[in-house]
């Protein structure tokens, strides 16, 4: 049911494994962040930011803009999800998992049967009570079709296996796995409470499955028969 409590709580010290920052603090409607490459201040209420680059490294600005995008995206009910997403028959199918789980493998296997929105990082946005997957300006991989999106039909957590089958996920597991696959600056902040709520609403709207697959026999048949 919408608004139902999941029992999940935001634990202390939650961070991405590949950090884009060394510290990030939210105070008074502003985010203060520091890394070895830059110092920045983001005004979430004013839609403004200041960036001081400490080292001449092009990745510094790119990582900062990506983090800025994820922080301000919540104002528009949007977040960045590490995932592969495909459009097929007007609907989006989202596949996610940790590094090496097979997101790019899925993209390669299905590029001829569906339009790849993006094979690594997708924008998930709630619009009018529905959730959509969009491409993004940061990762335009070989399989990306560009700037477009579609309403999400279903979501799949990838698991390499010896055979292909789907297993329906319970809502708590699905929310936790989605939350951990999202690019976000500080998952202990007040803003992260909204992010968790969006994950809960997404799981309520879109069915989530474990997708066990064997690389050599990967196809859309299992998905379409769900």
Residue with tokens 């809960």: 200
Q: What is the number of alpha carbons within 13 Å of residue 152 lying toward its C-beta?
A: 29
Find how far residue 83's CA is from the centre of its chain: 6
Among 42-46, 144-148, 166-170, the minimum mean pLDDT is found in: 144-148
Mean pLDDT of 139-161: 79
| Residue 132, pLDDT score | 98
- 20, 35 Cβ separation under 8 angstroms: yes
Question: Is 85 in a helix, a strand, or coil?
Answer: strand
Q: Which long-range contacts (CB under 8 A, 24 or more apart) does 100-108 make?
A: 101/158, 101/159, 101/160, 102/158, 102/160, 102/213, 102/215, 103/158, 104/141, 104/143, 105/215, 105/218, 106/158, 106/213, 106/218, 107/141, 107/143, 108/143
Looking at mean pLDDT, say which of 91-100, 169-178, 208-217 comes out highest.
Answer: 169-178
- Mean pLDDT of all residues belonging to the chain: 79
Q: Is the pLDDT of residue 153 over 90?
A: yes
List, for residues 101-126, the tens digit of each pLDDT value: 777 777 677 667 788 888 888 999 99
Range 93-106 average pLDDT: 81
d(CA 197, CA 199): 5
The structural domains of the chain, ordered by start, are: 16-76 (no CATH), 77-224 (3.90.228.20)
Buried b (16+ CB within 10 A) or exposed e, 155-187: bbbbeeeeebebeebebeebbebbbebbbbbbb
Q: What radius of gyration, in Å, describes the C-alpha atoms of the chain? A: 18
| Residue among 110, 122, 51 at smallest CA distance from 84 | 122
pTM of the model: 0.78
What's residue 128's pLDDT?
A: 95
The pLDDT score that the predictor gives to residue 1 is 42
State the DSSP code for 202. Answer: H
Token pair belonging to 29: 């409607």
pLDDT bin (cut points 50, 70, 90) of residue 48 is confident
């Amino acid at each position: 049911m919408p608004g139902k409590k999941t029992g999940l709580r935001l634990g202390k010290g939650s961070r991405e494994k590949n950090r884009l920052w060394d510290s990030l603090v939210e105070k008074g409607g502003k985010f203060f962040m520091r890394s070895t490459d830059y110092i920045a201040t983001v005004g979430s209420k004013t839609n403004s930011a200041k960036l001081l680059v400490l080292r001449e490294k092009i990745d510094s600005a790119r990582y900062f803009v990506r983090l800025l995008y994820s922080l301000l995206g919540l104002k528009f009910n949007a977040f960045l999800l590490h995932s592969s997403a495909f459009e097929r028959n007007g609907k989006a199918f989202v596949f996610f998992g940790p590094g090496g789980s097979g997101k790019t493998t899925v993209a390669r296997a299905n590029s001829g049967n569906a339009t790849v929105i993006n094979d690594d990082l997708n924008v998930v946005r709630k619009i009018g009570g529905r959730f959509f997957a969009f491409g993004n300006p940061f990762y335009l991989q070989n399989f990306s079709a560009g700037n477009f999106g579609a309403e999400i039909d279903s979501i799949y957590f990838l698991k390499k296996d010896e055979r292909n089958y789907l297993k329906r996920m319970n809502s708590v597991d699905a929310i936790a796995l989605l939350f951990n696959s999202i690019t976000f600056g500080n998952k202990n902040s007040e803003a992260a409470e909204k992010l968790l709520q969006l994950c809960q609403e997404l799981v309520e709207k879109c069915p989530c499955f474990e997708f066990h697959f064997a690389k050599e026999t990967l196809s859309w048949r299992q998905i379409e028969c769900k």
